[in-house]
Amino acid sequence: MSSRPNPAFARLAAAFACALVPGASALAVEAAVVRLLPLSLEELINTPVVTASRRSEARDHTPAHIMVITRAQIRERRYRNLADLLEDLPGVDFMRGTKSLTFNNFSVQGYNSNNKLLIMLDGVRIDHPAGGKIPVAENFALYQARQVEVLYGPAAALYGADAVAGVINIITDRPADASASWVSVGAGRFDSKEASFLASARAGDQLALTVGGHRQSSDRAPLDKYYPAEFARKDAVGSVVIPAAEREGYAGDISSHSVFARVDVGDTLSVGHYRNFFRQLTSTGDRPDTALFLRDARWDTLSETTHARLRFQPVPDIRAEMLIDHSEQEIDPRSKYVNIYTDFMDKGYVYARSRRTGIEQTIDWQVSERHGVQAGVGYNDYRALLTPDLPRPYDRGRGAEEQGLVYPNTDLPIRIGEARYHNAHGYAQIQSDWNDAWTTMVGVRYDDHSAYGSSVNPRLGAVWRANERHIFKALAGEAFRAPSPEESLGTFGSFSDKPEDRDEAGRPIGYRFRVPNDSIEPEVARTYSLTWDWRVRPDLNLVTNVYHSRIRNLVVTQKQAVPTQFIDGAVLSDTTVKGNAGEEVHHGIDWIAHWRFGLGADWDGELWGSFSWVDGHIRETDGGPRRELSYVAPRKVKLGATFRHRDRLTITPRLRWVDDTSTGRNNPLREGDRIRADGYVVASLHVGWHQLLDGRASLWLDVDNVFDRRYGAAHGSASTTFVSMPQPPRSWMATLEYRF
């Protein structure tokens, strides 16, 4: 039985809604109903994708392992943001609320950190402009998504730097497909609030406007109440001691917002703007004896991207596109740390700014019925600025050299890192359907970077459609990750006010300094993967993806034998630097299942799940000891089901079992091992009541951590942090969604 309701019912519902809403268009309301209906499994498999080859194609014709999450699945599974979706994906380790800088941390098929995963919106990059780390949390809300395409494996041959672990592309509606507008508001436990909307309007046949946005805030759980041992009030101990009796209560609130706007002129011109903002406390992941939980000690990240896309067809067989985009990210100057490294004083302000401006011209040439070529050339200009800890907020109205700031306990001017560089690139890919059974793909990209030179990234793949039920894919590719501003410009350290911490010439002695390095080379990753897509029955699909990856030129923290003296007038006694050394190797397998089923005349549903296994090692120096990968659970099981009663009720339970997970801290008792966070099982439940308020409203109840488990997420990258970061108890949110 197909899970897709009868189209006649959709037309009947549309006619009924039109009778209740004067002036409503029958076609528009019918479209609003149909766009929320789940696709059959066959329709889902045949949903066109664009991310794998930068052209629209069926999943069976791309050699890459790609998953598509549709609007109906996003809605029913309650993926309110990209973090929710990532957490449920095969091969992904997701650790919430563990990082001071990015809040969440995650690994994809063994690759840790979001600077190895490219995030795009309709093919336009919306993550860090210069390849650094960004928060991937509630700020990436999915209100505008028609579908989300998740491409696993290297894609630098098409997309350039940072497409190492894969690409996530949020696809929105085309103007012709835009339908009814909607708004949703929600509230829940721990003073959690969310609101979002999406609206579209047309002027004639050519001009269309789409606008959407979201706002979210939450106090999150008072973890000191639910984990009294871990968050007991205690002395904050550094060179200064804050007695437990004078300590503040725990705080861990977050907030975010985003705006999406696009103007389309027919199918020729699109101009869009996307903005997202996220706020979290800089004490995230820190133990109470090493940081103060102050609500004004926060980290505010604002990202904005503006683009213009011009499409044209110079000859019948060639489609061309020019994309111009400008992206900026800024850390608010009021962002600051108040922790053991700042002596618990108000002198740990941080500021960062990155910008990217680019232009790219691409073509899609259908050489013949069976052969196509995609090619492009482009240019990007980058600027980045990153400060060390500052005694007061950075003044945006002055240049980096005009701040008039000195290192605490000295009269030495603070050195602020700035960089400007550019990159020119060209790529080409030939994709051939030799017959009904075989497809091959050959691609290569050349990059010429002003800071680290040139690189060539190839990509080879093949698809064998043995029959309608068995599709086999093979892919080999290289990708590179460009050094980020945090790695090349980042500095920190401190000077003491004690007389003995000066040399014979009276120069201050600096301790534990990180020095900048403008000679870092890109990390280079090579990945091989095999995928077996088995359509067991029309309602059951099984996918197996096996992969092996190796990273060279790995960027790690190195202790310098001879400290680099980069601060005039000071003596740095011990220094570390980010540099290229060693390698990382990992391999694994993801088993994925998707089953659509019927339960009589009134009920239908779907069951999905995955089992993931990954193993590997890292060498931080050439010939050095092997160490376990960080932030990876060797085994993970993720299960979910959606049960639908006609068009009135949906019930979606989800469950995750995560094995013991490696942290970022070495195990002192066993060479090569990491300290591990205990495994856990956690479940959520999502219920939706539909066709309310004259058929235009839905009411959702989302319950996370249904069984109120106490568990932790792997952390422990520094001695001042939790090894296993306590996670929130049971929480819930009720949301009303209304369609106009």
- Alpha-carbon distance 84 to 138, whole Å? 8
- Alpha-carbon distance 134 to 419, whole Å? 19
pLDDT band at residue 37 using 50, 70 and 90 as cut-offs: low
| Token code pair at residue 501 | 């911490």
| pLDDT value at 9 more than 70 | no
- Across 434-505, the runs of DSSP E, i.e. the strands, are 438-449, 453-465, 470-481, 492-495
Q: Which residues lie closer than 8 Å to 524 by C-beta, 6 or more apart?
A: 455, 478, 479, 480, 551, 552, 553
Cα 110 to chain centroid distance, Å, stands at: 15
For 519-524, what is the mean pLDDT?
A: 92
DSSP result, 676-737: EEPPEEEEEEEEEEEEETTTTEEEEEEEESTT----EEE--SSTTB-SEEE----EEEEEEE
| pLDDT value at 34 more than 70 | no
* pLDDT of the residue at 565: 92
Task: Please give the single-letter amino acid code of residue 114.
Answer: N
pLDDT digits (tens, 9 = 90+) for 255-267: 999 999 999 999 8
- Alpha-carbon distance 374 to 489, whole Å? 36
For 371-382, what is the mean pLDDT?
A: 96
| pLDDT value at 20 more than 90 | no
For the chain, what percent of residues have pLDDT higher than 70?
94
For the chain, what percent of residues have pLDDT higher than 90?
81
| pLDDT value at 28 more than 50 | no
Higher pLDDT, 330 or 495: 330
For 291-299, what is the mean pLDDT?
A: 95
Q: Which residues lie closer than 8 Å to 205 by C-beta, 6 or more apart?
A: 266
| pLDDT value at 730 more than 80 | yes
pLDDT digits (tens, 9 = 90+) for 147-202: 999 999 999 999 998 899 999 999 999 876 766 799 999 999 999 999 999 999 98
HSE, CB side, 13 Å, CA atoms: give it for residue 632.
25
Asked if 218 contacts 187 with a C-beta cutoff of 8 angstroms, the reply is: no
User: 3-class SS at 599?
Assistant: strand
Q: What is the pTM of this model?
A: 0.92
* pLDDT of the residue at 604: 94
* pLDDT of the residue at 635: 98
* pLDDT of the residue at 2: 39
pLDDT digits (tens, 9 = 90+) for 461-517: 999 999 999 999 999 999 999 899 889 999 988 888 888 899 989 999 998 899 999
- Alpha-carbon distance 487 to 170, whole Å? 28
Count of other CB atoms within 10 angstroms of residue 338: 23
For 705-732, what is the mean pLDDT?
A: 95
| pLDDT value at 332 more than 80 | yes
Element at 610 (helix H, strand E): strand 603-619
Location of structure tokens 């350290």: 493
- Alpha-carbon distance 546 to 320, whole Å? 35
* pLDDT of the residue at 41: 81
Q: Phi/psi of residue 74, each to 5°? A: -55, -45
| pLDDT value at 659 more than 90 | yes
User: 3-class SS at 547?
Assistant: strand
Long-range contacts, stretch 668-677, CB < 8 angstroms, 24+ apart? 671/625, 672/617, 672/625, 672/626, 672/627, 672/628, 673/627, 673/628, 674/627, 674/628, 674/630, 675/716, 675/723, 676/714, 677/712, 677/713, 677/714, 677/715, 677/716, 677/723, 677/724
* pLDDT of the residue at 110: 95
- Alpha-carbon distance 658 to 718, whole Å? 23
| pLDDT value at 117 more than 70 | yes
HSE, CB side, 13 Å, CA atoms: give it for residue 230.
20
| Token code pair at residue 54 | 């930068």
Q: What is the mean pLDDT of the chain?
A: 91
- Alpha-carbon distance 558 to 619, whole Å? 12
Asked if 112 contacts 94 with a C-beta cutoff of 8 angstroms, the reply is: no
pLDDT digits (tens, 9 = 90+) for 223-276: 999 999 999 999 998 878 999 999 999 999 999 999 999 999 998 999 999 999
* pLDDT of the residue at 40: 78
Q: Which of 319, 320, 317, 321 is nearest to 371 (CA)?
A: 317
| pLDDT value at 445 more than 70 | yes
For 120-139, what is the mean pLDDT?
A: 95
pLDDT digits (tens, 9 = 90+) for 41-87: 888 888 899 999 999 999 999 999 999 999 999 999 999 999 999 99
| pLDDT value at 531 more than 70 | yes
Angle between helices 7-20 and 26-34 in degrees, nearest 10: 130
